[in-house]
Amino acid sequence: MHEPTPILWDASGQLAVLTFDLDRETFAIEAVLVREILDLLPETAVPGASPLVGSVVNFRGRIIPIADLRLAFGMPRAEATVDSRIIVIEIEHGDEAIQIGVRTDKVHEVTSLDRAASEEPPAVGMRWRRDFVRALVRRSDGVIVLPDLPSIFRSLCGGDGDPAVGAASLVP
Amino acid sequence: MNGQDPVAAFRVEAAELLDQIEQGLLDLGHRLDDRELVDEVFRGLHTLKGSGAMFGFDALATFTHHCESAFDRVRKGLVPATGELVAVILFAKDHMRALIEGDGAGLEAAGDTILARLRAAIEGAAGADVPAQAAEDARGGWRIIFRLPPDAMANGTNPLMLLDELRELGEARVVARTDAIPPLADLVPTRCHVGWEVELRTQAPKSEIEDVFIFVMDDMELTIEPLASSVEPSPAPQPELPEVETPTDVAAQQGRPTARSGEHVRVPAERLDELMDRVGELVIAQSRLSQLANGGVDVVALRSVSEEIERLSGELRDTMMVLRMVPVATLFGRFRRLVHDLARETGKAIDLVTEGENTEVDKTVVERLADPLVHLIRNACDHGLEPPEQRFAAGKPAAGVIRLSAHQAGGEVVITVRDDGRGIDRERVRAKAEAQGLIQPGQPIADQDLLQMIFHPGFSTAAQVTNLSGRGVGMDVVKRTIESLRGSIDVSSASGEGSSVVLRIPLTLAIIEGLLVRVGAERYVIPLAAVEECLELSLEEDLRSRGRSFITLRDRLVPFLRLREMFATGTRPDPYQKIVVIATGAERVGLVVDQIIGNHQTVIKSMSPLHRDVGTFAGGTILGDGGVALILDVAQLVAIGQQQEERLRAAG
């Protein structure tokens, strides 16, 4: 098992993040990881790939996977809306940096999270895989989830179980 | 590239120098009395020492200095070059490479061992009457007289530092020799006119004093003699000669990934000029385009700009492709050392003959060909070539020949590894294949198919496992690597006359001709090189073949895969489906697609690491409308088709 990805709070206990919606939850990604926010692009399905990264798009001449984090958190698939956006992030995967587009229902803002208001994911009472969540941060308007993206994408390649449905079999 | 780390630049340059030195040494091994080669190696060592010191690789500079001075004696004719000396300097060269790649930590012991061997080799070459260097060590101290070259200060040498360094070795009395200072009118103030005479009382050996002058030694006047009062020849201590572990050392060196050099490409300046011209034209076309965009729409002018840009981008692409091409000589050069070492290890005499070194291949292809070729050459040396006595008995010359050749044929590069050894023992191959259950005992099998057996995983006909090969990990890896390069491998062999392995590799990996097809709503690219033919799958045939998924093609059964089902598109089949028959080697498989769109020249983009487990695709490409089409991995699909065929056959 890998250690959870550490949260790099700054000296005053703050963390700059970009917040976005999935289903009825609000999530946050560290702002330093974000490369670009795009409108939806025409996607190409990759047969045989995990549904979590079931398609690819042309992002400035590079082919990058589109991740549907809804599936990692057990949410139903959703149709695109006018608010749907792709957040292109760059994360470490193994020993290389890879770009991934994260499909979101709506992108909110760049804001900062307060360490004092953050909590580790509870051991009970959460229907999500615990290693996919790094922290829950209380805010006046609800709770923001800080997902563990490297852990989620690692689960695709490592042997510790597919987060979403089993990968489609290729052999007819 | 402007902010390039100078140390990295040095590493690249040093790697090239080391290659040159190695080639020189290997040639020298064959022609021991070739003065030009001796000079060439000496120059290489000298440059390496100089630039090493300049970039702060002090351990390298010191070590290289010792090799250089040893070689200097060869150059001056004091000692003849010997095979042993060449072998030792080859080891020394490997050590230098280690020093350049690492920070030099933990390598001192290995370096000292090599230097001890070097000294012994030089002494051995010079004969017993040459006094051992150690005998020159004086007990009481040294008288050192030196005069720097006039331009030493301009080149950054500070004589005071040298004197300080000498003082650190012991009590020194320094006298300046001012006899060479010219009259004031002729004096050039930036030149060094002063010489020094130093009486140094120290226990330090002569070599330590020489080390002080290591970076200026070549141009300066330097005499070091024992202080007169203390000349009492001490018994020469026998230099210790620990055995250097030859085979393991070599293996370690070869195991180190040589791919590191792949990060740099040396480009002839004229090719860059060509590229620059194209870019210049592109900028002009761009400004014409923006003028058009700002003014009214003039369709004729717009079309002409569009054509212009089309031509330019095509030419730019071609020029770019050429930039990535390197001659295979860089690859072949590495194997001379390999064969040299293998010959020493196996005790066989082996000549490596290379042809067509100027054939150019894409840089990435060259890098990835290295390992398969090492395997093939090792195999040829170890299994193929017989020991000298057997060769003699068979009426062949004692030295085995391995012929490595490259030439271009169409869009492919053909690389052949041929030996004149005993050839592949078909009986042994058959016995092994039967033992492994690959074929039934007594089953008739085509000769070519039998030979292909050696590419099965875990297949080795070597009766004995040697250090070199015969562990059965190799040929299957070779085959897989070549296939991942979209190439093919063929083997042929004549008993008693030798074997040859032919590799066919596409010239470049970056661009392929592809056949664009549609399956469901998505488009896919099939590499055109693998496409044999396209047929229509008629409705009746489709219905009839529901159960078995075979078509008869010129009296042969060809299994086919319905990509629509395989990719779970969830769409209805088109009324006129097509079958694209693809092949690797002799194995064929049909792919049922909904529509054939046409030819498409494809720039291959790699898939994200998150999709690496999806084996059916070799990459992706971007279509004219900005969409993405995935490129089918032909080898994988054929393998799936074969499995399906075997399953059906088993089911009866």
What letter would DSSP give residue B383?
I
Q: With an 8 Å Cβ cutoff, is A63 touching chain B?
A: yes
Nearest to B451 by CA among B425, B471, B416: B425
Q: Kindly report the average pLDDT of chain B as a whole number.
A: 77
Residue of B nearest to A67 (CA): B610
If you average pLDDT over residues B565-584, what whole number do you get?
Answer: 85
If you average pLDDT over residues B145-164, what whole number do you get?
Answer: 79
pLDDT value of position B234: 44
Report the DSSP beta bridge partners of residue B577: B537
Question: Would you say residue A171 has pLDDT above 80?
Answer: no
Question: Would you say residue B130 has pLDDT above 80?
Answer: no
The residues near B121 (Cβ < 8 Å, ≥ 6 apart) are B70, B82, B84, B85, B88
pLDDT value of position B367: 82
- pLDDT bucket at B48, cuts 50 / 70 / 90: confident
Q: How far is B5 from chain A (nearest CA, A)?
A: 21
pLDDT value of position A24: 87
**Residue numbers in B near A64 (CB within 8 A):** 608
Q: How far is B621 from chain A (nearest CA, A)?
A: 8
C-alpha span between A20 and A145 (Å, rounded): 10
Report the DSSP beta bridge partners of residue B620: B605, B630
Q: How far is B567 from chain A (nearest CA, A)?
A: 5
Per DSSP, the three-state class of B329 is: helix
- pLDDT bucket at B159, cuts 50 / 70 / 90: confident
C-alpha span between B104 and B110 (Å, rounded): 11
If you average pLDDT over residues B177-196, what whole number do you get?
Answer: 81
For B332-353, the DSSP string reads HHHHHHHHHHHHHHH---EEEE
Contact A170 B615 (CB under 8 A): yes
- pLDDT bucket at B580, cuts 50 / 70 / 90: very high
Please say whether the beta carbons of B629 and B523 come within 8 A.
yes
pLDDT digits (tens, 9 = 90+) for B464-480: 444 444 444 567 778 88
For B500-551, the DSSP string reads EEEEEEES-SSEEEEEEEEETTEEEEEEGGGEEEEEEE-HHHHHHTTTT-EE
Residue of A nearest to B568 (CA): A47
pLDDT value of position B518: 93
Helix (H) or strand (E) holding A85: strand A85-93
Contact A63 B628 (CB under 8 A): yes
Determine the number of helices (DSSP H) and then strands (DSSP E) in chain A. Answer: 2, 12
Using CB atoms within 10 A of its CB, is residue B621 exposed (0-12), middle (13-18) or buried (19+)?
buried
C-alpha span between B400 and B388 (Å, rounded): 8
If you average pLDDT over residues B258-268, what whole number do you get?
Answer: 58
Question: Would you say residue A29 has pLDDT above 90?
Answer: yes
pLDDT value of position B397: 85
C-alpha span between B180 and B193 (Å, rounded): 6
Using CB atoms within 10 A of its CB, is residue B284 exposed (0-12), middle (13-18) or buried (19+)?
exposed
If you average pLDDT over residues B258-280, what whole number do you get?
Answer: 71
> For B68, how many CA atoms within 13 A lie in the half-sphere containing its CB?
22
Q: Which residue has the higher pLDDT, A102 or B513?
A: A102
Size of interface A-B (CB pairs under 8 A): 89
pLDDT digits (tens, 9 = 90+) for B51-98: 787 777 878 888 888 888 877 888 777 777 787 888 888 888 888 888
Nearest to B627 by CA among A83, A101, A86, A61: A61
- pLDDT bucket at B208, cuts 50 / 70 / 90: confident
Q: With an 8 Å Cβ cutoff, is B648 touching chain A?
A: no
Question: Would you say residue B131 has pLDDT above 70?
Answer: no
Q: Kindly report the average pLDDT of chain A as a whole number.
A: 84
Rounded to 5°, angle at Cα B199 from B198 and B204: 105
pLDDT value of position B253: 39
Please say whether the beta carbons of B622 and B605 come within 8 A.
yes
Contact B610 A63 (CB under 8 A): no
Option in A53, A99, A172 nearest B562 (CB): A172
For A20-55, the DSSP string reads EEETTEEEEEEGGGEEEEEE----EE-TTS-GGG-E
Residue of B nearest to A60 (CA): B626
If you average pLDDT over residues B301-322, what whole number do you get?
Answer: 82
Q: With an 8 Å Cβ cutoff, is B196 touching chain A?
A: no
pLDDT value of position B515: 93
> For B636, how many CA atoms within 13 A lie in the half-sphere containing its CB?
15
Model pTM score: 0.52
Per DSSP, the three-state class of A105 is: coil
Question: Taking phi first (over 0 means left), then psi (-120 to 50 degrees means alpha), and beta for anything else, what does residue B120 get?
Answer: alpha
Contact A47 B643 (CB under 8 A): no
